[in-house]
Amino acid sequence: MKKTYSYLGPIGTFTELALAQVAEAKGANLRAVTHVQDAIDDVIAGKAFRAIIPVENSVEGGVSATSDALAMNPNIRIYGEYLVPVTFDLVARPGTKLEDVKIIATHPVAYAQTRTWLSKNIKKHTHMPATSTAAAAAELLVSDSADAAIAAPTITKHYKLKVLAKNIGDNKNAQTRFLQIGLANSTPKQTGKDKTSVIVELPTDRPGALLEMLEQFATRGVNLSRIESRPIGDQLGRYRFNIDIQGHVEDAAVAEALKGLHRFSPKVIFLGSYPRADKKKSVHQGNSTNAAFTAADKWVAKL
Amino acid sequence: MKKTYSYLGPIGTFTELALAQVAEAKGANLRAVTHVQDAIDDVIAGKAFRAIIPVENSVEGGVSATSDALAMNPNIRIYGEYLVPVTFDLVARPGTKLEDVKIIATHPVAYAQTRTWLSKNIKKHTHMPATSTAAAAAELLVSDSADAAIAAPTITKHYKLKVLAKNIGDNKNAQTRFLQIGLANSTPKQTGKDKTSVIVELPTDRPGALLEMLEQFATRGVNLSRIESRPIGDQLGRYRFNIDIQGHVEDAAVAEALKGLHRFSPKVIFLGSYPRADKKKSVHQGNSTNAAFTAADKWVAKL
Amino acid sequence: MKKTYSYLGPIGTFTELALAQVAEAKGANLRAVTHVQDAIDDVIAGKAFRAIIPVENSVEGGVSATSDALAMNPNIRIYGEYLVPVTFDLVARPGTKLEDVKIIATHPVAYAQTRTWLSKNIKKHTHMPATSTAAAAAELLVSDSADAAIAAPTITKHYKLKVLAKNIGDNKNAQTRFLQIGLANSTPKQTGKDKTSVIVELPTDRPGALLEMLEQFATRGVNLSRIESRPIGDQLGRYRFNIDIQGHVEDAAVAEALKGLHRFSPKVIFLGSYPRADKKKSVHQGNSTNAAFTAADKWVAKL
Amino acid sequence: MKKTYSYLGPIGTFTELALAQVAEAKGANLRAVTHVQDAIDDVIAGKAFRAIIPVENSVEGGVSATSDALAMNPNIRIYGEYLVPVTFDLVARPGTKLEDVKIIATHPVAYAQTRTWLSKNIKKHTHMPATSTAAAAAELLVSDSADAAIAAPTITKHYKLKVLAKNIGDNKNAQTRFLQIGLANSTPKQTGKDKTSVIVELPTDRPGALLEMLEQFATRGVNLSRIESRPIGDQLGRYRFNIDIQGHVEDAAVAEALKGLHRFSPKVIFLGSYPRADKKKSVHQGNSTNAAFTAADKWVAKL
Number of domains in chain C: 3
The shortest CB-CB distance from C223 to any of D60, D173, D207 is to D207
Residue A152 CB partners (closer than 8 Å, separation 6+): A12, A13, A14, A16, A17, A86, A87, A88, A89, A133, A134
CB proximity C303 to A under 8 Å: yes
Hey, are the CB atoms on B208 and A177 less than 8 Å from each other? no
- What is the CATH classification number for the domain harbouring D107? 3.40.190.10
pLDDT for A100-131, tens place per residue?
Answer: 999 999 998 899 899 999 999 999 999 998 98
The confidence score (pLDDT) of residue B30 equals 95
The shortest CB-CB distance from A219 to any of C216, C255, C300 is to C216
Mutation site for B-interface testing, chosen from A82, A212, A236, A244 by largest number of B Cβ within 10 Å? A236
CB proximity D262 to B under 8 Å: yes
**Cβ B243 vs Cβ B199: under 8 Å:** yes
**Cβ C216 vs Cβ A221: under 8 Å:** no
Q: Do chains C and B touch (3 or more CB pairs under 8 A)?
A: no
Q: Are residue A47 and residue A161 in the same domain, yes or no? A: no
Residue A205 CB partners (closer than 8 Å, separation 6+): none
Q: Measure the CA–CA gap between B75 and B78, rounded to whole angstroms.
A: 11
Q: Are residue B93 and residue B158 in the same domain, yes or no? A: yes
Q: Are residue C63 and residue C73 in the same domain, yes or no? A: yes
Which of chain A's residues have a Cβ under 8 Å away from the Cβ of B58?
Answer: 231, 233-237
The confidence score (pLDDT) of residue D98 equals 96
pLDDT at B131 over 80: yes
Hey, are the CB atoms on B58 and A211 less than 8 Å from each other? no
pLDDT for C58-114, tens place per residue?
Answer: 999 999 999 999 999 999 999 999 999 999 999 999 999 999 999 999 998 899 899
pLDDT band of C4, cuts 50, 70, 90: very high
The confidence score (pLDDT) of residue C19 equals 95
Q: What residues are paired with C179 via a beta bridge?
A: C53, C81
Q: Are residue B302 and residue B256 in the same domain, yes or no? A: yes
CB proximity C233 to D under 8 Å: yes
pLDDT for B162-187, tens place per residue?
Answer: 999 999 999 999 999 999 999 999 99
Q: Is D221 left (phi over 0), alpha (psi -120 to 50) or beta?
A: left
pLDDT for C188-239, tens place per residue?
Answer: 999 999 999 999 999 987 889 999 999 999 999 999 999 999 999 999 999 9
Residue C189 CB partners (closer than 8 Å, separation 6+): none
**Cβ B168 vs Cβ B150: under 8 Å:** yes
Q: Are residue C25 and residue C126 in the same domain, yes or no? A: no
Hey, are the CB atoms on C295 and A216 less than 8 Å from each other? no
CB proximity C57 to D under 8 Å: yes
Hey, are the CB atoms on D263 and B296 less than 8 Å from each other? yes
- Three-state SS at C206: coil
Q: Is C96 left (phi over 0), alpha (psi -120 to 50) or beta?
A: beta
Q: Are residue B78 and residue B119 in the same domain, yes or no? A: no
pLDDT at A190 over 90: yes
The confidence score (pLDDT) of residue A9 equals 85
Q: Are residue A284 and residue A214 in the same domain, yes or no? A: yes
The shortest CB-CB distance from A207 to any of B234, B235, B285 is to B285
Q: Measure the CA–CA gap between A225 and A223, rounded to whole angstroms.
A: 6
CB proximity A108 to B under 8 Å: no
Hey, are the CB atoms on B262 and D220 less than 8 Å from each other? no
Q: Measure the CA–CA gap between C105 and D129, rounded to whole angstroms.
A: 20
pLDDT for D139-190, tens place per residue?
Answer: 999 999 999 999 999 999 999 999 999 999 999 999 999 999 999 999 999 9
CB proximity B209 to D under 8 Å: no
Mutation site for B-interface testing, chosen from D259, D273, D293 by largest number of B Cβ within 10 Å? D259
Q: Average pLDDT, stretch B86-91?
A: 96
Domain boundary among B119, B150, B185: B185
The shortest CB-CB distance from A263 to any of C249, C258, C296 is to C296
Q: Are residue B33 and residue B180 in the same domain, yes or no? A: yes
For chain C, the average pLDDT equals 95
In a domain, D145, yes or no: yes
The confidence score (pLDDT) of residue C259 equals 97
Hey, are the CB atoms on B292 and D263 less than 8 Å from each other? yes
Shortest Cα distance, chain D CAs vs residue C97, angstroms: 32
Which of chain C's residues have a Cβ under 8 Å away from the Cβ of D71?
Answer: none
Cis ω for the linkage preceding C275 (within 30 of 0): no
> Chains touching chain D at 3 or more Cβ pairs under 8 angstroms?
B, C
The residue segments making up the domain with residue C99 are 89-165
The confidence score (pLDDT) of residue C205 equals 74
Hey, are the CB atoms on C210 and D224 less than 8 Å from each other? yes
Residue A10 DSSP symbol? -
Q: Are residue D237 and residue D144 in the same domain, yes or no? A: no
- What is the CATH classification number for the domain harbouring B245? 3.30.70.260
pLDDT band of B206, cuts 50, 70, 90: confident
Q: Do chains A and C touch (3 or more CB pairs under 8 A)?
A: yes
The residue of chain A nearest to residue B113, with distances taken between CA atoms, is A233
Which of chain D's residues have a Cβ under 8 Å away from the Cβ of C237?
Answer: 58, 225-226
Neighbours of C6 (CB within 10 A): 24
pLDDT band of C13, cuts 50, 70, 90: confident
pTM of model > 0.90: yes
Q: Measure the CA–CA gap between A17 and A29, rounded to whole angstroms.
A: 15
At residue A52, φ and ψ (nearest 5 deg) are: -115, 115
CB proximity A112 to C under 8 Å: no
CB proximity D93 to B under 8 Å: no
pLDDT for C162-176, tens place per residue?
Answer: 999 999 999 999 999
In a domain, D170, yes or no: no
Q: Are residue D192 and residue D180 in the same domain, yes or no? A: no
Q: Are residue D144 and residue D255 in the same domain, yes or no? A: no
CA B176 distance to own-chain centroid? 6
Hey, are the CB atoms on B300 and D249 less than 8 Å from each other? yes
What DSSP string runs through C159-200?
S--EEEES---S-TT-EEEEEEEEESS--PPP-SSEEEEEEE
Hey, are the CB atoms on D263 and B216 less than 8 Å from each other? no
CB proximity C210 to D under 8 Å: yes
Hey, are the CB atoms on B171 and A233 less than 8 Å from each other? yes
Q: Average pLDDT, stretch A186-203?
A: 96
Q: Measure the CA–CA gap between B57 and B35, rounded to whole angstroms.
A: 17
For chain A, the average pLDDT equals 95
**Cβ A38 vs Cβ A162: under 8 Å:** no
Shortest Cα distance, chain A CAs vs residue B203, angstroms: 14
Domain boundary among A156, A186, A216: A186
Complex prediction ipTM: 0.93
Q: Are residue D222 and residue D299 in the same domain, yes or no? A: yes
Which of chain D's residues have a Cβ under 8 Å away from the Cβ of B219?
Answer: 215-216, 219, 260
Which of chain B's residues have a Cβ under 8 Å away from the Cβ of D209?
Answer: none
